[in-house]
Structure 1
Amino acid sequence: MNHNQKLTSRIGLAQRAGKLVMGEEGVIKAIRNGEAYAVIIVRDASENTRKKISDKCASYGVPLLEILDRYELGACTGKDVRVSAAVTDEGFARMIQESAKQYTEVDGID
């Protein structure tokens, strides 16, 4: 299993366990309520969405992972297209962050 597959399978597992909040408004609400342990935003998100979510993560001290694209995030969560997701479980957040780090190191993605 390559690093991308490991990453997407862990995100999918979190989704099936009900530990992902999807969509910009839901993600921002999860950050504000202290429910988000990590936030995923796709690399091809709009500047407006990226700024809104990254500012909120910065002010609440939530790790922000800029990974995948909107189709990859959608596919691994069983949806068509997704731009952002908040991970609401500490264990899943740790696993996804670990996979994201390996994914970006190995594949040379910033």
Structure 2
Amino acid sequence: METEKALQLLGLIRRASQLVTGENMVLKAIRNQSVTLVLLANDAGPTSAKKIRDKANFYNIAIISAFNKAELSNATGLERTVLAVKNPGFSKKLLELTKTEGA
């Protein structure tokens, strides 16, 4: 997994205004199917994590849980537990960079 490149790309995605942040906004974007990828902090609360996972799975949207809250916050400059990417190209690249063996 190329963590550093993925986090740098996340910062670029934010600067390109292709990021939805915050639990409620992400849930709304998933329901509208206006996002193609969800990034969920691996140290997110169990209730929030379940809500996001269930909604993303229902709408068949990929989830990455490779980062913790601090890493996501440092990469984007925002303290968030959950983020979503609007642009399919950015989503594809993030999935490639975070792909682990056997996944």
TM-score of Structure 1 vs Structure 2, range by shorter chain:
over 0.9
Cα distance in 2 between the residues matched to 1:36 and 1:76: 19
Cα distance in 2 between the residues matched to 1:78 and 1:66: 18
In the alignment, which of 83, 86, 89 is matched to residue 87 of structure 2? 89
Taking only the aligned residue pairs, the percentage that are identical comes to 36
Following TM superposition, where does structure 1 have runs of at least 4 consecutive aligned residues deviating by more than 6 angstroms? none
**1:25 to partner: Cα distance:** 0.3
Paired residues in the alignment total 102
Structure 1 unaligned spans of 5+: none
Number of the residue aligned with 1:30: 29
- What is the SS of the residue equivalent to 1:45? coil
Cα distance in 1 between the residues matched to 2:35 and 2:97: 18
Report the TM-score when normalising by structure 2: 0.93
**1:67 to partner: Cα distance:** 1.6
Cα distance in 2 between the residues matched to 1:3 and 1:60: 27
Structure 2 unaligned spans of 5+: none
- What is the SS of the residue equivalent to 1:44? coil
Aligned AA (2:75): C
Number of the residue aligned with 1:46: 45
Aligned AA (1:95): K
Question: Residues 36-91 of structure 1, C-alpha deviation per residue, up to 9 Å, x if partnerless?
Answer: 10100010001001100000001100001112110110010012x21010100000
Cα distance in 2 between the residues matched to 1:39 and 1:47: 16
Number of the residue aligned with 2:18: 19
Aligned AA (1:92): F
- What is the SS of the residue equivalent to 1:18? coil
Indicate the larger mover: 26-35 or 2-11. Answer: 2-11
**1:3 to partner: Cα distance:** 1.3
